[in-house]
Structure 1
Amino acid sequence: MTIYRVNESRSGQRHLQEWRRRALHTLGQLLLATLAIAIGLIVLDSSGLSLEKRFFAGMWNAANLVTTVGDFSAFNEQQKVFMLVAMFMSVIIGGYAISQLTGLLSSDAALAARENRTMKRILDGLANHVVVIGFSPLGRLVAGRMRAAGDQVIIVEKLDDLSAQASELDYLVVQDDAGLDDDVLKRAGADKARALVVMTEDQDRKLAITLMAHALNPRLHIVATGQNSQRGALLERAGASEVVIADDLVAAELVARLGGKAGPDRQ
């Protein structure tokens, strides 16, 4: 699976715009070079033909030089010397143009922009899915069980290594900090999702994510883990549908197990 990188989306678009600008600039340079070569050949033409025919011959030879087709007409000695210089200049201009354009197209930002376009088409078609914020070990476990139950799961993760791990496990991944920018939640389709699970460990970011997700989609079922009951109450006021306090679950499970073992001894 590919990764939608929210932070690099704008940068990639700027790189593609810069590539288009440079492509137009390069095309202009080639046209000017073609015209300059044609004018030089016309000035040095001693054939005695009409200006119209000399202009056509000059443009023909200049275009053949720039495009490297090589189907030239006959030259006099002065034109041959001029064409030698023009050939070297065309090689320099062409090589510079190619290096500039290919360098931009192969940059990380441009590659990310193309990858983002592919992911955008996929993400835009999703609905009624589950968004899991954070791919920590617990987040990975939750995502795996949700997927095993038949849900389409979107992972939102800000760290490069965890995003790559989620992608390698064939999850759709949106990479950026969901607690800083609601564009991340929008790109993950939180407005169309059926549920959102907040697994990030930063309690303040967890509260911010809950607030933004609830504002984006008031009907969204939001489940979050809480550090304690006070934090849990804050998350519920922020819009969380359910808050799971890990310590309470562990304590309840321990009590249940102890009660189960003590039961036979009392009989």
Structure 2
Amino acid sequence: MPETKVSPLRSIGRRIIGAFLFLFAAVLIVYIGRDGYSDANDDGLSFLDCFYYATVSLSTTGYGDITPVTDFARLINIVVITPLRVMFLIVLVGTTLEVLTERSRQALRIQKWRHRVRDHVVVVGFGTKGRSAVNSLLAEEDAEPSQIVVVDTDQAALDAASALGLITVHGSATRSDVLRVAGAQRARAIVVAPNRDDTAVLVTLTARELAPKSRILASVREAENVHLLKQSGADQVVVSSETAGRLLGIATRTPLVVDMVEDLLTPETGLAIAERPVEPSEEGGSPRHLPDIVLGVVRDGSLYRVDSPEVDAIERGDRLLYVRKVTPAKHAAR
């Protein structure tokens, strides 16, 4: 169920108003029955005396200088003042209890999740590149949102990620303790997509030290920084500025080619590039003669184009990069 969020100031204001309402109710009750009370001066209770008695009574201070002496006044204290005292204390300490309860609940959820999560994907940075990477993961692999963790320093970006059902961690991914909270040491892949290239290098270094077996994929703006990412431990580096520039250059001559590339890179509709293992019936054959449009063959971790002589015959253990048609029903059901 959606939760109604109230600002801290409004919540505190409501509690203060409630406390004063309980206090004034006690003052009014004591003032009406003031003849049943005795004070140390034995000169009767004024309105100020009633206010004083209600304050020290509800706050459980109880100096004893004003006391109920008649049976009716004592009955009113038992039936009315005592419940008001309890409600007054609940209002005063309610904010603290609520914060402690919420923190304990959040810590328990995080602890359970960290013990349970395995083979997830950590996305560092939820800007344009990070959002696109998450959309591709959700569309291409049918990944569960709870298996994607977003790390960012921008709370607005984390709120947007949380609205998609993703796990969020607030902090800088250049710090190993933040990546540990995200479970990077047990992640299947780490996507590094910050807004600055120097941040990408630092994040990659930290992630590789913490997760030596995870696959790290990084994005940079400038091609001259690719070797820095590679040396830092990135398995794959994408140059965003050069890729966009190439598409712009192609669009000046053959704009429809750009449309086709965009179609291939958008897994939600049309055509998409996918990877699959070789079937036993396909072993020994040529990848160019398969019903699928094969673009390349992955063998022993290396990618070969479909026209390379090394992959004239498909072998067991090969994987095929091919063009597949996206079925709209699949995404309509998501």
Shorter chain as denominator, the TM-score bin is: 0.5 to 0.7
Q: What CA distance in whole angstroms lies between the structure 2 residues aligned with 1:216 and 1:138?
A: 23
CA distance in 2, matches of 1:208, 1:92: 58
After superposition, give the CA deviation of every residue in 1:107-150 in whole Å (9 maximum; x if it has no partner).
Answer: 3x753542342243234311111111111122111111112213
Across the two proteins, how many residue pairs are aligned to each other?
185
What residue number does 1:103 align with? 95
**CA 173–91 in structure 1, closer or farther in 2 if over 3 Å, else same:** same
Matching of residue 155 in structure 1 with residue 147 in structure 2: no
Query: 1:98 is matched by which residue type in structure 2?
Result: I
State the alpha-carbon separation in 2 of the partners of residues 113 and 230 from structure 1: 47
Between the aligned partners of 1:226 and 1:159, the Cα distance in structure 2 is: 20
**Aligned counterpart for 1:126 among listed residues 92, 117, 122:** 117
Does structure 2 retain, via aligned residues, the 8 Å contact 1:156–1:175? yes
Note if 1:168 corresponds to 2:168: no
2:128 aligned to which of 129, 134, 137 = 137
Question: How many angstroms apart in 1 are the aligned matches of 2:161 and 2:190?
Answer: 17
Q: Are residues 124 and 99 of structure 1, via their aligned partners in 2, closer, same or farther at CA, if it must alter by over 3 Å?
A: same
Residue pairs, 1:1-267, within 5 angstroms:
80=71, 83=74, 87=78, 90=82, 94-107=86-99, 110-148=101-139, 149-151=141-143, 152-179=147-174, 181-254=175-248
Q: Distance in 2 between matches of 1:153 and 1:86?
A: 57
Aligned-partner residue type, residue 164 of structure 1: D
Asked if structure 1 preserves the Cα contact closer than 8 Å seen for 2:204 and 2:234, the reply is yes
- CA deviation after TM superposition for structure 1 residue 92, in Å: 7.1
CA distance in 2, matches of 1:175, 1:120: 16
| Paired residue secondary structure (1:106) | helix
Structure 1 CA distance for aligned equivalents of residues 170 and 207 of structure 2: 16
TM-score, normalised with respect to structure 1: 0.58
Aligned to 2:300: none
Counterpart code for 1:178: A
Letter in structure 1 aligned against 2:150 = I
- Structure 2 residue runs of 5 or longer lacking an equivalent are 3-67, 256-334
- In structure 2, how many angstroms separate the alpha carbons of the residues matched to 1:85 and 1:258? 88
Structure with greater helix share of residues: 1
Contact map agreement 2:196 2:220 (CA 8 A) in 1: no
Change (3 A) 1:188 1:235: same
Structure 1 CA distance for aligned equivalents of residues 225 and 104 of structure 2: 38
- In structure 2, what is the Cα distance between the partners aligned to 1:182 and 1:197? 15
